[in-house]
Structure formats: structure tokens, C-alpha cells
A and B are shown apart, each in its own frame.
Chain A
Amino acid sequence: MSSHAASAPAALSAAPASTAPAASKALTLGLAGIALTALGLFVSGAKVVAHSWLVGVTYWTAIAIGMLLLVLIHHIFDASWSTVIRRQFEHGLAAFKWLGLLFSPLLLASFLYDRDLIWPWLDLNHEMHGGHTVGHDPLYLKKAAFLNPGMLLGMTIAFFAGWIWLSSRLRRASFTQDLDGSLGWTRHNRVTAAIGLPIAALTLTFAAIYWIKSLEYHWFSTMYGVWFFANCVRGALSFGVIIMVWLWQRGDYRGILNTNHFHSIGMLMLAFTVFWAYVTFSQYFLIWNANVPEETFWYNLREINHDGASNQWKWIGIFGILFGHFFIPFFFLLSYRFKITPHILRRIAIWILAIILLDLCYNIMPALKDSHGDALPLLSLNLVWILTSVVGVGGVCVWAYLRSFGTAKLIPIRDPRIGESLTHHE
């Protein structure tokens, strides 16, 4: 608890209390995670560690994309209540350039070390189950214009360039408005939002396709980009709640946040929980109903081994994805009391963040197969490298957020909607 707790909008006059010690702690933790993950190269081999790193980087990239979307949506709708928490998302956007940097080892290793490392289609001589190579696979040749090394490289650079460009526009306009109070920056951001939303929608969809879905390039699902989008927004909302409760308990947000801010973000969490379930179920249901081998193998891999025995992923799918990702947060978020009680809402947010990680593992890790073509289990040494990757990338992202946190006011004090936001009501 800070000493200036309960003094009405402290942020209006004072700069936020220093987060420099916390930032250096986060960076140390991040670098330790990265070092441990690197150690994994010698224990579990490059392939396992590369897939774990992919989970770690996409997890935090998803949260950052979600924050970008929330800021864009805030501006396009000229929203009012979210003005006081928008600044925190703007700080979160500082992570994009580091995420780009942290993603690059995957591309460098794929191009310079082993083409087979993560995406099998990067190597035309990659041998498929059954003897022939990717280069002779008709299902690859049809997609070759899309799935090739140049496209992967160019698209990934374009994704990060797009996100970094939008983030810097949004941040600059918002931070400058604190100083000069010009309404022009609000209009500027609304224009950015109008241009940025389609860009964000397309880049996140293609990122999900290139980075995750193409791990099994035979498979197709038109729901995939939307599934990723739902996770992005759920992750950003949950992270937003953690930041809100942290700043509330530290005292910064006393006199700024009221019950209705928690209620509103809780309602959005509920809405996106239902949306995620709708999309994820639709993907499963369409594949289940059509029952076409080119599609069903993806779920079979996550359910049974070649001898028909259930594998770990089946239980992860039922208890982690179906119950953990939908029913549990859904029923908790239905309650008004839980939504307005900060520490309970934070508990739900932490749960959702953990399950989003599990969802990404469920989508990425079964690409690692044993000699029978069965998915390697999650509960193994591989899980250690996933966790070190998440801590490694996360430490750097949290450091980037905290470093940005000290450079601007706690809330956008001269935003035209700030008064409405401070008195947010039902």
C-alpha cells in the first residue's frame, strides 16, 4: 500500500510512483527465463525448445495484440468509461518491438540452422509420414504460393511493422495530448483506429495462420483467426484487470476507479468468454459434423495415439479447454458480486491467462511427434521449457510496460472523455 492511498485523484497532479525497481526485477527474471530456455537446447534439443519458445512468444504477442485492439476499439467507438485504463494498455504496447526481437531467433534458426525446426513446409525435402517429401505433396503444392520461406519472413516482418507503427502512433498522440491538451490528438487517434482495425484484424489472422496453424499445413479451419482474436482480447482484458487491481492496491487508482469500471471490464470478459466458446465450439463442431479425414486428424492427434489409446491431450481438451476455458470463467463471471470485487475478478483473470497459455500449448505442442506420429505429452520435461519461455518473454514484456509506465501520467488527464470516465456509472 502506498502512502498516498485515498487521496483523491493523486495522478492528476503527481507523476506515478517509481516502478524502476520492479522493472529491473522483471528484466532480470526475463533474462533468467531466456537463459534457462537456452539451457534447454542442450537438454531437450532444438526442436522441443523452439516449439516452447513459439508458445512463449505467441502468448505474449497475443496479449499485446489484444491491448492494441482494445485501444483501437476504444477510439473507434469514442468510448468513455475505458479512458482511465486505456493508458495502461498504451504502456503495454511498448512491448511490440521487443516481441519482434524475441520472435526473430525462431526465423533465424529456421533459415540458418534447420529448415525443419518448426514449420515443416520450409523444407521441401522434409519427409512426410508415408515416405514422400513436402515438395511432392499435392496438398503443399496447392498452398506453395502462400506457405514458402519468403512469405513467412516478409509477412512476419510486416506483422510486427504494422503493430509497432500503430502502437507508436497511438502512444505518441495520447502522451502528447497530456502536455498540450489538443483535441486534434483525439481525432488523430480515431483516424488511426479506423485505419488500424482492419490492419490489426488481418495481421493477427495471418499471424495465427503462419505461426500456429501451418504447423499442420494439411489442416484447414476458417475459424482459426477468430479463435486467435478471441484469445488476444481475453488475454488483454485479463491482464488489464491485473494491472487495475495492482494500481488500485498500490494506491494510484484510488479515487479514480469505481465499482462500475470493474463491472464494465468484467462484462467484457464475460462477453469474450462466450465469444471464444462460440468460435472454438464452431470449429470443433463443423469438423466433427463433416468428418473429413483432412480435418479430423488434427483433433485425433489431440485425443488418441496410433493404437487408439487416449493421450494426455484428450484430458487437456476436456478439462482444460472445455471446462477451464469456458464453463468455469463463464459461471464465475455471470455473478455481479464477483465482477465488482477486485481480488475475485483478479483471480478469474489469472485463471483465464493460465488457460490461454494452455490453449496455445494445445494448438502448438502436438506438432511435436514421436516415431509413431503420436503427439508428445505436455506433462514432461517439455513443460519446463514452455514455462521458462513464458517467463523469459513475459519478463521482457513486463519490463517494457513498467519502463513506459514512468514516462507518462497515470491517466490521460486531458482526454475530452476523462471527466465522464472518472464518474463512470451504470
Chain B
Amino acid sequence: MSAQSYGLIATFKTAPALYHAAEAVRDAGYRHWDCITPFPVHGLDKAMGLSRSIVPRISLVGGITGFCTGMSLIWWTGAVDYKLIVGGKPLFSPMFAFPVSYELTILFTAFATIIGMFVLNGLPMHYHPVLKYDQIRRGMDDTFFIVIEARDPRFNAANTRALLEQAGGEAITELEP
């Protein structure tokens, strides 16, 4: 194998073929690999052995941050920095701080979700080695691909190629970085 290779790409004709090949690659213990499909294949995440996204946890952190920001904003401005009695109410009460905290909870949750999703997906991404593969555009039409990256610790040009062949992959090609 050449040290400059990005990895191997294999072509599959049908979704079931890809699905079972994904199970084979998963069971072989690969970690740095991906499937390219023209449409979402339900259950593929399970076949690839992917766990659920951690974005919801990032959202939760964002939400808690927003809530605390709202509460401390109202407390700091009303009860510390510029004390002002409004409508005979106490200088601070969680009651009137609640609408602000609630809105900021939603806002910060939305920010955390979007940013978390972008960061975890490595977006924005303007270049990816598979784009150099001349057949890749068929991945948006009628063909399925599996890409196994060379940086995977289990990657070995001969063995990986054999695995993909055994799994039913066709036109196995080395990708330039």
C-alpha cells in the first residue's frame, strides 16, 4: 500500500448488500469508516454499530447554561447593580425572572444543538478525499459505497480489500488523500 492512500472505497449495488457489508465491517472491528448512500437507509446506524449521538447532552448543557444566565441576569441587574422596586415586588424573585430564563433556556439549547451538530459532524467541510473518486456522484443516484480509512488501526491494504471483497464489494479502489 502507498502511505499516501486515504483508504479504500467499495461499491455496492443494493441497500441490503450495503447493509450486510456494513455489518461485516463493523464485526471486523473497524472504527474509521463510513457508508455513502443516495438516501437514508433505516437501521444502517445499527448495522454500522454507531451509538446514539451525544448532541442531546450538549443541548442539555446549553439549556442549563441558558436558564442560569437568565436567572443571574435578572438577579444581578435588579437586585445588585441597579436596585429598583417595580410594582411593589421584591428586588429579586424567581417568578419574574422565569420568563427570561425560559426564553434563554430555549435560545441556548438551540445554539448548543446547532453548534454541537456542526462540530461533531466536522462541518463546514469543503473538501473530502472521496470527492476525487470519479464514480462518487453515483452515490447521489443509485449506488452505495463503503469507505474504510487508512488511519484505522486495523487497516491493512490486503486484508481490508479482502474483507470488502468478501462482503460483496465491487470496484474496490484506493483513494488519494
Which residues of A come within 8 Å of B, CB atoms? Answer: 281, 285, 288-289, 291, 334, 336, 425
Contacts and interface: CB of A to CB of B under 8 A. Distances in A.
Contacts of A425: 42-43
A336 B96 CA distance: 32
B122 interface: no
A336 B54 CA distance: 11
B87 interface: yes
B146 to A, nearest CB: 22
Contacts of A336: 52, 56
Contacts of B95: 285, 288-289
A252 B95 CA distance: 48
Contacts of A285: 95-96, 98-99
Contacts of A281: 98
A291 B52 CA distance: 48
A285 B98 CA distance: 9
B88 interface: yes
Contacts of B60: 334
B68 to A, nearest CB: 16
Nearest to B59: A334
18 contacts: A281-B98, A285-B95, A285-B96, A285-B98, A285-B99, A288-B95, A289-B87, A289-B89, A289-B95, A289-B96, A291-B87, A291-B88, A334-B56, A334-B60, A336-B52, A336-B56, A425-B42, A425-B43
Nearest to A337: B52
Contacts of B56: 334, 336
Chain A binding surface SS class: helix
Given A281-B98, A334-B56, A334-B60, 15 more contacts: A285-B95, A285-B96, A285-B98, A285-B99, A288-B95, A289-B87, A289-B89, A289-B95, A289-B96, A291-B87, A291-B88, A336-B52, A336-B56, A425-B42, A425-B43
A305 to B, nearest CB: 23
Contacts of A289: 87, 89, 95-96
Closest 8 CB pairs of A and B: A425-B42, A288-B95, A285-B95, A336-B52, A281-B98, A285-B98, A289-B96, A336-B56
Interface in B134-172: none
Nearest to A335: B56
Interface string B95-127: 110110000000000000000000000000000
A67 to B, nearest CB: 30
Nearest to B88: A291
Contacts of A334: 56, 60
Contacts of B87: 289, 291
Nearest to B42: A425
Nearest to B43: A425
Contacts of A288: 95
Nearest to B96: A289
A249 B96 CA distance: 47
Nearest to A284: B95
A255 to B, nearest CB: 16
Interface string B73-91: 0000000000000011100
Nearest to B53: A336
A242 to B, nearest CB: 26
B65 to A, nearest CB: 16
Interface string B45-61: 00000001000100010
Nearest to A281: B98
Contacts of B89: 289
A25 to B, nearest CB: 41
A266 to B, nearest CB: 13
Nearest to A285: B95
A289 B86 CA distance: 10
A80 to B, nearest CB: 14
B99 to A, nearest CB: 8
